[in-house]
Amino acid sequence: MTDINAFIDEKVKSNDVFLFMKGSPDFPQCGFSGQVVQILNYLGVDYQSANVLESQELREGVKAYTNWPTIPQLYIKGEFVGGADIVREMFQAGELQAHFEQAGIPVKQQA
């Protein structure tokens, strides 16, 4: 396992909810990352994140880690959930909230 894969693996597995995104939760640097941050904040879910714009190696490493071509990427309990479109669709259908609850992660708001 390369150093970047080890870094990604550690972040994904040691945090209940982890978001690889462009920018930070306080200052998303793309609309798609901003949408996922808005959803997570609305639900009141505690999460950690990493800014892939800080490292080309991280940006490419995340894509290779999941074999998923886009960022943001959301992980719940070590499981890759999806990018912005999937997260938004799951949220609108109530599936994201159910997924959090099944994983034992409290949700403060329902859609």
Q: Which domains does the chain have, with CATH numbers?
A: 3-102 (3.40.30.10)
Would you say 81 and 87 are in contact if contact means Cβ atoms under 8 Å apart? yes
Which residue would you say has higher pLDDT here, 96 or 109? 96
30 is in an annotated binding site: yes
The H or E element containing residue 82 is: strand 79-82
CA–CA separation, 29 and 6 (whole Å): 25
Task: Characterize the bridge pairing of strands 73-76 and 17-21.
Answer: antiparallel
* pLDDT on residue 111: 52
Would you say 76 and 99 are in contact if contact means Cβ atoms under 8 Å apart? yes
Q: What mean pLDDT value characterizes the chain? A: 95
**pLDDT tens digits for range 75-108:** 999 999 999 999 999 999 999 999 999 999 999 8
Q: How confident is the model at residue 1 (pLDDT cuts 50, 70, 90)?
A: low
pTM for the structure as a whole: 0.94
